[in-house]
Amino acid sequence: DAIQNPDRYVLKPQREGGGNNLYGAELSAALQQGLQADGDSLAAYILMQRIVPPPQRSVFVRAGAWAEDESLSELGIFGTFLRVGDKVGGRSESFVCWYRTLVVGAWAGKLVPGWAVCGVRCGAWAAAALKPL
């Protein structure tokens, strides 16, 4: 389905940092090439169905100027979990919530001026506060 309907999916690399996501025709081509080869090149990616909420009108302010545009918002909730082989090391009792608003069409979701803004950030990373399970 993803090859015939690539706008319904995103192909994300299995790494931190964001960006480098594949959408649309680029996603379809990458899947076709990966499947025609041995498929190993696709092991570094995860194919996800896109969640497409209805757009909303938003006002963006930058350097004292404002612009109104169609936007999408997303909420991320992150925590930590540590595992080495079959042994579970612990989990963090703290978390981070992150809310951002993107201009419609800014698929990569980078916090680059003109593409997206971070709306709310709460909580704290607590890598040192791992608790045994």
- Contacts of residue 16, Cβ cutoff 8 Å, sequence gap at least 6: none
Phi-psi region of 64 (alpha: psi -120 to 50; beta: other; left: phi over 0): left
- Report whether pLDDT(46) > 80: yes
Share the mean pLDDT of the chain: 75
Closest among 128, 125, 116 to 19, alpha carbons compared: 116
H or E segment to which residue 90 belongs = strand 87-92
Mean pLDDT within 122-130: 45
Is pLDDT larger for residue 106 or for residue 127?
106
65 or 3, higher pLDDT: 3
Percent of the chain with pLDDT over 90: 20
Residue 86 to residue 70: CA distance in whole angstroms: 47
Closest by CA position to 48, among listed 22, 73, 71, 74: 22
The pLDDT, as a whole number, for residue 30 is 93
Q: Kindly indicate the confidence band of residue 38, based on its pLDDT and cuts at 50, 70 and 90.
A: confident
Q: What is the DSSP letter of 30?
A: H
pLDDT in tens, 93-102: 666 677 778 8
* Contact (CB, 8 A) for 28 and 36: no
Tokens of 113: 């001026």
pLDDT interval class at 84 (50, 70, 90): confident
pLDDT at 112: 46
Computed over its alpha carbons, how large is the radius of gyration of the chain?
18
Instruction: Please identify which residue in the block is written with the tokens 């090859």.
Output: 3
